[in-house]
């Protein structure tokens, strides 16, 4: 698999990829002919770039969508010798099978993650990841149909698995209360012998508490400012700009504000933020209050926290250690919602706190009822078999 020459990616470059003229889509068999075009793009790359530009205000979404677009463009042109605008429903059936088992250079672990010879996959995509990838691509194709660029969306024919789609699944990527308390305790054992160690400790300590206490997404945490914390009627709130530019308000506890005050004082700032501050809520690695951490830095710091916490459990709780090694930043968001639900917080409030569009999404965090059902079922089951077990032991 040879990647076309690409320019270095930057926040201002949504898609930098060059395709052969014969495969650029100008003569694609699925191109719309006649009618009124809504966009001026003449090639597939130009059209995809315009679609990505719609998400310029959502960096995390932009990166995710760009990744799927690049994968499809390169697979179509290199594996099938077709432009995107010539793909049929049969081609997408092949693509779905390919996502489940990418081969060769596509997922070669010896290749780097970046650059012109990079690999595009870390391995086979799970069923959920394949569904998400095809959903993103279907959104792209529908956009191009609406724009008058494509005649139709081949993925619109994709069969909906109604029963599977409607099945309620409880979220599993979260930390139970005991593991979360272990993570907090493990950070307190980090060395603070040097100024750099102490700075790293304070930053990591504050960051995981911020993510858990507010349920922020990684991109949101990376860009939140001290001035986004404000008081109303004696209560602290956090103003958040989330996915798609949607704004929300998240309640902030007095305990979390005390942690924030500690972090700020460590850097010589006033304990309480003011509305006209320009300081970041989580400062850069160098401690510059006017520079934010990147989403990638937030992710790596949290992964290190989990990795260190896991190492402390290897001998006493291997299963817990394994869970922590799989955990990432988004697990803290899931943990926040799950623990709020466990505490009996009204589901409508959790929906607002997590800024979910649908309360059905929030419902996946309701574990307490399942726990109670399991406990009562197993207790009754155990009482029924206990006499037999006892007889077996006596015999």
One domain, residues 70 and 192 = no
Which of 166, 201, 233 terminates a domain? The answer is: 166
Q: Are residues 323 and 192 in the same domain?
A: yes
Give residue 379's pLDDT band: very low, low, confident or very high (50, 70, 90).
Answer: low
Within this chain, do residues 149 and 240 fall inside the same structural domain, yes or no?
no
Q: Which of 101, 136, 166 is the last residue before a domain boundary? A: 166
Are 63 and 103 part of one and the same domain?
A: yes
**Tell me, what CATH number does 237's domain have?**
1.10.443.10
pLDDT digits (tens, 9 = 90+) for 292-312: 888 889 999 999 999 999 999
Assigned domain for 388 exists: no
Question: Helices (DSSP H) in 106-192: which residue ranges?
Answer: 127-146, 162-166, 177-187
With respect to residue 379, please indicate whether it lies within any of the assigned structural domains.
Answer: no
- Let me know whether 223 and 315 are in one domain: yes
| pLDDT tens column, 97-147 | 999 988 877 876 776 666 556 667 888 888 888 888 998 999 999 999 999
In this structure, are 237 and 198 located in the same domain? yes
Q: How many helices (H) and strands (E) does the chain have?
A: 15, 3
User: What's the token pair of residue 305?
Assistant: 């926290």
Structure confidence by residue, pLDDT tens digits, 66-80: 989 999 999 999 899
30-41 pLDDT tens trace: 999 877 888 989
- Do 208 and 343 have their domain in common? yes
- The pLDDT of residue 15 is 65
Tens of pLDDT, residues 222-235: 889 999 999 999 99
CA torsion sign, 140 to 141 to 144 to 145? Answer: negative
For residue 251, the cross-strand partners are 237
Q: Are residues 261 and 129 in the same domain?
A: no
CA-closest candidate to residue 240, choices 230, 227, 226, 250: 250
CA-to-CA distance for 301 and 203, rounded, in angstroms?
A: 9
Residues 237 and 359 in one domain: yes
> Same structural domain for residues 128 and 150?
yes
Give Cα 7 to chain centroid, integer Å.
26
Residues of the domain holding 335:
177-367
CB-based contact 338:177 (threshold 8 Å): no
The count of other CB atoms within 10 Å of the CB of residue 1 is 18
pLDDT at 262 over 90: yes
Both 118 and 146 in one domain: the answer is yes
What mean pLDDT is predicted for residues 255-261? 96
Residue 164 reports pLDDT greater than 50: no
Q: How far, in Å, CA of 324 to CA of 335, rounded?
A: 12
Full-model pTM: 0.57
User: Residue 380 domain-assigned?
Assistant: no
Q: What's the domain count of the chain?
A: 2
pLDDT of 329 strictly over 80: yes
| Span 195-204, pLDDT tens digits | 999 999 999 9
CA angle 372, 373, 379 (to 5 degrees): 85
Whether 148 and 226 map to the same domain: the answer is no
**What digits encode the pLDDT tens for the residues 178-190?**
999 999 999 999 9
Cα dist. 369→286, 354, 374, 376 in Å?
A: 46, 20, 9, 11
Q: Which residue has the higher pLDDT, 26 or 103?
A: 26
Q: Which is more confidently placed, 169 or 359? A: 359
Query: Domain of 76: which CATH number?
Result: 1.10.150
């Amino acid at each position: 698999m040879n990647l076309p020459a690409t320019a270095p990616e930057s926040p201002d470059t949504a898609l930098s990829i060059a395709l052969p003229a014969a495969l650029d889509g100008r003569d694609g068999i699925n191109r719309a002919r006649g009618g009124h075009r809504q966009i001026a793009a003449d090639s597939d790359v130009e059209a995809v770039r315009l679609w990505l530009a719609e998400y310029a205000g959502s960096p995390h979404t932009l990166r995710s969508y760009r990744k799927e677009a690049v994968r499809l463009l390169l697979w179509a042109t290199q594996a099938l010798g077709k432009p995107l605008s010539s793909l049929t429903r049969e081609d997408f059936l092949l693509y779905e099978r390919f996502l489940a088992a990418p081969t060769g250079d596509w997922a070669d672990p010896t290749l780097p993650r970046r650059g012109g010879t990079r690999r595009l996959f870390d391995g086979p995509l799970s069923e959920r990841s394949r569904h998400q990838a095809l959903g993103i691509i279907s959104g792209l194709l529908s956009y191009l149909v609406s724009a008058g660029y494509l005649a139709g969306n081949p993925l619109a024919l994709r069969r909906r698995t109604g029963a599977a789609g409607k099945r309620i699944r409880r979220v599993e990527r979260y930390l139970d209360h005991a593991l979360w308390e272990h993570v907090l305790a493990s950070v307190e054992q980090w060395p603070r012998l040097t100024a750099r160690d102490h700075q790293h400790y304070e930053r990591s300590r504050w960051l995981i508490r911020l993510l858990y206490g507010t349920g922020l997404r990684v991109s949101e945490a990376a860009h939140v400012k001290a001035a986004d914390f404000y008081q109303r009627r004696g209560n602290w709130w956090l103003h958040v700009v989330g996915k798609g530019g949607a704004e929300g308000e998240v309640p902030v506890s007095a305990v979390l504000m005390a942690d924030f005050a500690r972090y700020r004082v460590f850097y010589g700032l006033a304990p309480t933020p003011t509305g006209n501050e320009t300081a970041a809520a989580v400062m850069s690695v160098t401690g510059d209050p006017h520079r934010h951490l990147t989403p990638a830095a937030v992710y790596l710091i949290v992964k290190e926290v989990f990795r260190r916490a896991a190492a402390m459990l290897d001998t006493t709780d291997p299963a817990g250690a394994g869970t922590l090694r799989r955990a990432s930043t988004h697990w803290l968001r899931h943990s926040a919602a799950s623990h709020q639900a466990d505490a009996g917080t009204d589901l409508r409030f959790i929906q607002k706190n997590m800024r979910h569009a649908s309360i059905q999404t929030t419902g996946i965090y309701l574990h307490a009822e399942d726990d109670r059902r399991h406990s009562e079922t197993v207790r009754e089951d155990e009482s029924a078999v206990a006499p037999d077990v006892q007889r077996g032991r006596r015999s």
